[in-house]
Chain A
Amino acid sequence: MSKGARLVKPASYTALVVLLFLVPLFVKGAYFLHILIMAGIAIILTSSLRTIATTGQISLAHAGFMAIGAYTSALLVMKLNFSYWVALPLGGIAAALLALLVGYPFVRVKRVYFAMLTLFMGAIIRLTIMEWRGLTGGTSGLLGIPPPNSIVIPGFLNIAFDSKVPYYYLILALVLISLLFLHRIDSSCVGRTLLAIQQGDFVAESVGINVTRFKVFALCVGCFFAGITGSFYAHFIKVLTPDSFGVLQAIYLVVYMVVGGRRRFYGAILGAFILTLLPEFFRILREYQPFVFIGILLVIIFLLPDGLVSLPEAVKSRIKKVPEGQS
């Protein structure tokens, strides 16, 4: 490959990143920034879910782990006066620790049962939040969560989180860091090992791969990012209720992942982006709006069961068929 050709990929990624940084200059409405921020949240959640799914395990507890991060961070700041910038990673670590705790027993069961166990895990997390009213505010919710502490470099910088714009840049930074990390895992020998576990765990075991340890690793990494996203969400929306982290939300994440396509890394990003953003254009439909999401879901699954990322291959095989038919 010529030197020029090799530079195309990193150059286009850099251009994309620069473009993303410039978005707030063009997009002025708070509403539009808000949906972009929510799309960013969905992207991190779906990509980290995909990392867990690389070993073949579908987690239906991802919304629950997000809740762990959200409530941990909010409570650390509100009750123990932590700085947000310490609470943010701690939210992720709390989620990862819980994943570690339940991970070892959970990953030993067959895949269908793993998915259902995580479903129950998510339900238990939600129910515990509802029950522990003293700590979490229960069903009425945790209110008045403060925004992130302002970033102050005296004489230089004073970023207060008083509008959507700083949140946008924060989530953008989190998205870039997370995707970089998760992509590194995916494209390295670790990702290869995780994929091998999905396709033949006993073969992988027989060549020396500690399947249990890798499955737990994938689970903890994925849940860490779910926790981080939860922390961000808590201090962005500033109100937390257990209903935001239920079975339905967990299922939505799996839908984003499968509609985007599991086989490629960018599938999760694509699915999350499209399914979060597209329905917003149909806000005028009001109570009929969910039908847009449902429609997209059903159309894609009927046409491209392997998700949007299989579109290039599907098109290619269509094109190949045409000349044969004509002869």
Chain B
Amino acid sequence: MSLATLAQSILNGLAAGWIYVLVAVGLTLVFGIMNIVQFAHGEIYMLGAYCSYFLIKVYGFSFWEALPLAALLVGLLGIVLERFFFRPFRGRFEPSIIVAVGLMLLLQTTAVVGFGTDTKSMGGIIPGVLTVSGITLSWDRLLAIVVGIILVAALFLLIQKTKVGQAMVAVSQDPDAAALHGIDVNRISTIAMVIGCALAAIAGALMGSIFSTSPFMGTSAITKGIAVIILGGLGSITGAVAGGLILGLIDGLIPPLLSPTMAGIFGFGVIIIVLLFRSRGLFGHE
């Protein structure tokens, strides 16, 4: 593998990795606070992609306007979902899963019926490349990495420095104790859901513009998201970052060497091996 190809593969891997991180962070946040595996999270990501697609192609927004707008719209949807689909089943693991699955199928089928099954393209965020000592690096991937880093850093600051963030930590450790301390668990759940959906929407928009958009992109997103949070440890944001980058690099480096399918096998294999030695994932507790 030449240096140029290696550099591009690493870049692809990191870009994919940070997109995975954005998906996984929301998923692990919702798991930590609401104690459910939100199976519809992949469809939220897909909606983010379509939302920004329509904002750009139909309403003429620029990408950098469409991104926060899509995040906002999808985040608002998250409020509705938490209130009407997940809150009635709080604390009941199995029915929550089924509701999430039902929601996933609902959103996916609606997308298929509404948008058609063909894949769409948004056009590159910022076309063109950066050339460094003979190696070409695409701007869109670099910017995906930067967006990912900024958002995750912002989330860390939110959790560590704000009252809301601390309340979220309390709820994720012991919701009953948190409630006794006067924390509105419902409100915290809503906030977690909104953050999760917004991040997933941004991830979807990024993925949709670097690659393409299809109504089925959610299924691979949720599988990847679950893979990342299991690898990183359920409920751990640090774990989501570590897991996302590891799996992203695998997906960047293995396909040019072997094949995309082998990348998948390799990735899942790594997770299974890690789990068998460290039964809570890399950074998991409890």
Contact = CB atoms under 8 A, between A and B. Distances in A.
Number of chain A interface residues as a range: 35 or more
B210 interface: no
A120 B227 contact: yes
Contacts of B39: 251
Given A116-B226, A123-B268, A255 B113 contact: no
A119 B261 contact: no
B264 A247 contact: no
A127 B97 CA distance: 25
Interface string B22-47: 00000000000000010100000000
B265 A131 contact: yes
Contacts of B223: 119, 123, 247
Interface stretch (A7-15, A83-91, A220-228, A291-299): A291-299
B279 interface: yes
A293 B105 CA distance: 9
Contacts of B113: 287-288
B205 to A, nearest CB: 24
A297 B272 contact: no
A110 B276 CA distance: 11
Contact of A120 (B37, B99, B271, B279): B271
Interface string A92-134: 0000000000000100111011001101110110011011000
B106 interface: yes
A248 B264 CA distance: 17
B158 interface: no
Secondary structure type dominating chain B contacts: helix
A294 B102 contact: yes
A305 B92 contact: yes
Contacts of B259: 131
Given A127-B265, A259-B98, A302-B88, A120 B272 contact: yes
B176 to A, nearest CB: 20
B109 A251 contact: no
B98 A110 contact: no
A61 to B, nearest CB: 11
> Chain B CB within 10 Å — which of A105, A287, A298 has the most?
A298
A179 interface: no
Interface string A165-184: 00000000000000000000
B256 interface: no
B275 A128 contact: no
A290 interface: yes
A249 to B, nearest CB: 12
A103 to B, nearest CB: 13
A120 B95 contact: no
Interface in B107-152: 109, 112-113
B216 to A, nearest CB: 10
A112 B234 contact: yes
A248 B272 contact: no
A291 B110 CA distance: 9
B261 A298 contact: no
A301 B268 contact: no
Interface in B18-77: 37, 39
Nearest to B35: A112
A258 interface: yes
A127 B279 contact: no
A127 B272 CA distance: 15
B234 A297 contact: no
Given A109-B279, A131-B262, A131-B265, A119 B109 contact: no
Interface string B221-237: 00100110010001000
B132 to A, nearest CB: 35
Given A113-B279, A119-B226, A290-B105, A127 B99 contact: no
Given A117-B275, A123-B264, A247-B223, A297 B269 contact: no
A131 B255 CA distance: 12
A99 B268 CA distance: 17
Interface of B: 37, 39, 88-89, 92, 94-95, 97-99, 101-102, 105-106, 109, 112-113, 219, 223, 226-227, 230, 234, 259, 261-262, 264-265, 268-269, 271-272, 275-276, 279-280
Given A113-B279, A301-B99, 10 more contacts: A117-B230, A120-B268, A120-B271, A247-B223, A248-B219, A262-B94, A287-B112, A291-B106, A297-B105, A298-B99
